[in-house]
Amino acid sequence: MGKAKISVGVLAHVDAGKTSLTEQLLFKSGATKTLGNVDTGTAQTDRLSVEKSRGISVQSAYTCMEFDNTDVFLIDTPGHVDFSAEVERVLSVIDVAVLIISAVEGIQAHTETIWKVLQQSGIPVILFINKTDRIGADSELVVSEFERQFNSQLALLNKIAGEGSSEVSAQLLWTKKQMNEQVIESLANANDEVLEAFLAGESKDFEWYNNQLIKTFWEGQIFPTIMGSAKTGLGIDMLLQTIACLGKESLDEGKPFSARVFGLSNESGQGQITFAKVLQGKLEPRNVVKNNDAGIEEKVTLLKQYRGGDMVDIKAATAGDIVNIYGLKEIEIGQVLGEVPADEYPIFKLQSPLLTVQVKPVEEKDYVALAEALQILNKENPDLDFEWLKEDKELHVKVMGWIQMEVITAILQDRFNIEAQFDDPTVIYKEKPLSEGIGFAEYTMPKPCWAVVKFKIEPGKPDSGVEYNSEVSVDKIHRKYQNEVERTIPEALKQGIKGWEVTDLKITLIDGEDHEIHSRPGDFIIATPMGIMEGLKEIGTTFLEPVLEFKISASEDLLGAITSDITQMRGTFESPEMEDGKFTLTGLLPLATSLEYPIQLSSRSGGKAKISTVLHSYQPVADELGQTRPFKGISPLDRSKYILKMRKAIQ
């Protein structure tokens, strides 16, 4: 039997102990000789200088260890919500998740978000209840709350004694040779075959029960749970054994090569590094690989892999491996190299940036260098959605929050030697047409040019995006010109009359004309935004603002103050759920009014109240409550200048 391989993502709310647990796994498996430490900057997966100095993970990082004839690829992920994009990319390549929950703090805000997306993705989960050595730890309470809150069946693989002290210890309820009755009972609650055998009083051997446990785990019906301490190493051996027991056999190397890209780095001094998971087949240096999304082929120059604390050259990467690929210049995160497999790993979203912010150099001479640095960072994190508005000499990125802005500032200083500063962020609004109307543009001067377009513009249903159709025959507008109109629509809607992306609308091309001699495809690229913007100007648009779905848990004495806060922030809420002197409140909150509320809530409750939020939807809001911003660049409504710009007559 060949060596098994398994990719494991380590996930948690910030400060729950992800990186410390990863270091313990590496040390206990023998992959590293000394135990790395977050506080001293010696953690193997905290590779950026900003991570070493701040003691937090801001970028996902993998390493590989071998245990019990299994190659385990560990990916340590950031826990702060501002770096959710890093977690999203990891979800596209892992086989199993280890979700860490603090026995002291319990189920925290980001824990809920992570759990929901793990369930949506169908990724099997092992729970590790951490910090059982800390004062105030209550792992049994965490387990009962988890099962109740998420309606999930946990299987406790060990039992804690002396919790909340340095004397804490654990009794094993499951090993590779025996299974405690308590584990079997948990398994019976999630597996019908085990339940039938249990009720019938049938005696089954360990191997049968263990196979049922593994099967039920991969089906996502049961969640092995280990209690311990990443600080002291308690429970780490059991976690290693559990992961190895679940290891997958490597896939068929004879299949055509395929790999999923989940990360990029340009820090090595050796050109761009592509981080990828090989889904099937085999890859070797000097192989030419196809980039399906870009429609090009590129040559691999070198393959490396993080093994424990070292990065080593490898001769080949096979199915199941995570690998560093050198030589690829045009690749982007999320793309698939080689053949696209039928069971391709999907991408799941935790959060989307809802703030936009302008970045400025402290020294004006660094303006171009800052723009180029942000282009590099944008390739490594496409969620930044970097915009370089050259006409206005402005640089804009989308961010999750203040922590991310601080980290980007530090990276620009450490990595590019550029001092940068951020303006105050602005909530990202959208626009929607107020009513039905017509947009018309006639672009026939100065010749040679000829493009006439007439659009019907209508409001669409909420969250419907953009729907485009054409009712114009090819006798009036040639097919190739109509194709240019359709391709230009998304670009034309990036900025509406209030300065924001226009969405939730139907656009129908209802009339127009080309010219046999004077028309060119570029003419319709120019005419389309002019027609759309003229239509939007006539019918008007309304703001759409991001609205968050929230969940707040706090003590009963704070209920009145918190509901008053919600009302003042234009929020709504359901009837609170009361239990054991605490309440849980759910509802909706506009982002614009609640940006600082998590900090205010923490201050009001002495840090005991918990709030979790996730984007619910974009909803209409009155003009006086939105924020209009100037058009960036030259607006299609400024017809003369816009035509000159599009014809490259002015910059």
Q: The pTM is what?
A: 0.86
Single out the residue of 87, 96, 48, 114 nearest to residue 381, CA to CA.
87
176-180, 213-217, 248-252, 424-428: least confident range: 248-252
* Span 418-474, pLDDT tens digits: 999 999 999 999 999 999 999 999 999 888 899 999 999 999 999 999 999 999 999
Q: Reduced to 3 states, what is the DSSP secondary structure of residue 501?
A: strand
DSSP E strands, 605-649 = 610-621
* Span 52-70, pLDDT tens digits: 666 677 788 889 999 988 8
* Confidence at 276, pLDDT banded by 50, 70, 90: very high
For the chain, the residue count is 651
- Which CATH architecture does the domain made up of 355-428 adopt? 2-Layer Sandwich (3.30)
Amino acid making up residue 67: F
Residues 574, 542: contact at Cβ < 8 Å?
no
DSSP string, 2-37: PPEEEEEEEEESTTSSHHHHHHHHHHHHTS-SS---
Residues 259, 320: contact at Cβ < 8 Å?
no
Q: What is the spatial distance between Cα 224 and Cα 72, in angstroms, rounded to a whole number?
A: 18
The token duo for 317 is: 């990467």
The token duo for 339 is: 């053949």
Q: What is the spatial distance between Cα 236 and Cα 74, in angstroms, rounded to a whole number?
A: 14
322 or 47: which leads in pLDDT:
322
pLDDT at 59: 82
pLDDT at 249: 64
Report residue 506: phi and psi, to 5°: -110, 135
* Confidence at 8, pLDDT banded by 50, 70, 90: very high
% of the chain at pLDDT higher than 90: 69
Assess whether pLDDT exceeds 60 at residue 202. yes
pLDDT at 347: 67
Q: What is the spatial distance between Cα 19 and Cα 95, in angstroms, rounded to a whole number?
A: 19
Amino acid making up residue 431: E
**Any idea which fold 544-623 has?**
Alpha-Beta Plaits (3.30.70)
Residue 175 CA: distances (Å) to CA of 237, 239, 245: 11, 11, 10
Report residue 312: phi and psi, to 5°: -120, 150
- The answer for 647, left when phi > 0, alpha when psi is -120 to 50, beta otherwise, is alpha
pLDDT at 15: 83
pLDDT at 18: 86
Query: Cα dihedral angle (631, 632, 633, 636), rounded to 10 degrees?
Result: -30
pLDDT at 250: 60
Residues in CB range of 565: below 8 A, 6 or more apart: 597, 600, 601
pLDDT at 343: 62
* Confidence at 88, pLDDT banded by 50, 70, 90: confident
What ranges in 493-622 are assigned the alpha helix state H? 521-539, 559-568, 591-594, 597-605
Assess whether pLDDT exceeds 80 at residue 206. yes
Q: What is the spatial distance between Cα 191 and Cα 203, in angstroms, rounded to a whole number?
A: 16
* Span 338-394, pLDDT tens digits: 987 766 556 677 778 999 999 999 999 999 999 999 999 999 999 999 999 888 899
Q: How do 4-12 and 70-76 pair as beta strands?
A: parallel
Residues 159, 171: contact at Cβ < 8 Å?
yes
Residue for token digits 């620009």? 412
Q: What is the spatial distance between Cα 642 and Cα 651, in angstroms, rounded to a whole number?
A: 10
User: What integer is the mean pLDDT of 189-196?
Assistant: 93
pLDDT at 338: 92
Radius of gyration of the chain (CA): 28
pLDDT at 506: 98
**Any idea which fold 258-338 has?**
Elongation Factor Tu (Ef-tu); domain 3 (2.40.30)
User: What integer is the mean pLDDT of 493-512?
Assistant: 97
pLDDT at 53: 66
* Confidence at 523, pLDDT banded by 50, 70, 90: very high
288 or 391: which leads in pLDDT:
288
Same fold, 355-428 and 544-623: yes
Residues 33, 315: contact at Cβ < 8 Å?
no
- Which CATH architecture does the domain made up of 4-176+222-249 adopt? 3-Layer(aba) Sandwich (3.40)
Assess whether pLDDT exceeds 60 at residue 134. yes
* Span 136-158, pLDDT tens digits: 999 999 999 999 999 999 999 99
580 or 250: which leads in pLDDT:
580
Assess whether pLDDT exceeds 60 at residue 521. yes
Q: Reduced to 3 states, what is the DSSP secondary structure of residue 499?
A: coil
Residue 577 burial class via C-beta count within 10 angstroms: exposed 0-12, middle 13-18, buried 19 and up: exposed
Assess whether pLDDT exceeds 60 at residue 1. no
* Span 603-634, pLDDT tens digits: 988 888 888 888 899 999 999 999 999 998 89
Residue 496 burial class via C-beta count within 10 angstroms: exposed 0-12, middle 13-18, buried 19 and up: buried
- What per-residue string of b and e applies to 108-119 under the rule 16 or more CB within 10 Å gives b? bbbbbbbbebbe
User: What integer is the mean pLDDT of 329-335?
Assistant: 90
The token duo for 622 is: 């009155």
Residues 155, 125: contact at Cβ < 8 Å?
no
Task: Show me where the domains of the chain are located.
Answer: 4-176+222-249, 258-338, 355-428, 544-623
* Span 219-253, pLDDT tens digits: 999 999 999 999 999 999 999 999 988 876 666 66
Assess whether pLDDT exceeds 60 at residue 47. no
Single out the residue of 448, 428, 612, 620 nearest to residue 522, CA to CA.
448
Residue 461 burial class via C-beta count within 10 angstroms: exposed 0-12, middle 13-18, buried 19 and up: exposed
Hey, which residues does 579 pair with through a beta bridge? 582
- What per-residue string of b and e applies to 227-261 under the rule 16 or more CB within 10 Å gives b? bbbbbebbbbbbbbbbbbbbbeebbeeeeebbbbb
Amino acid making up residue 327: G
* Confidence at 314, pLDDT banded by 50, 70, 90: very high
Mean per-residue pLDDT of the chain: 90
Helix or strand (DSSP H, E) at 572: strand 572-573
% of the chain at pLDDT higher than 70: 94
DSSP conformation class of 623: G
Report residue 169: phi and psi, to 5°: -140, 170
Assess whether pLDDT exceeds 60 at residue 317. yes
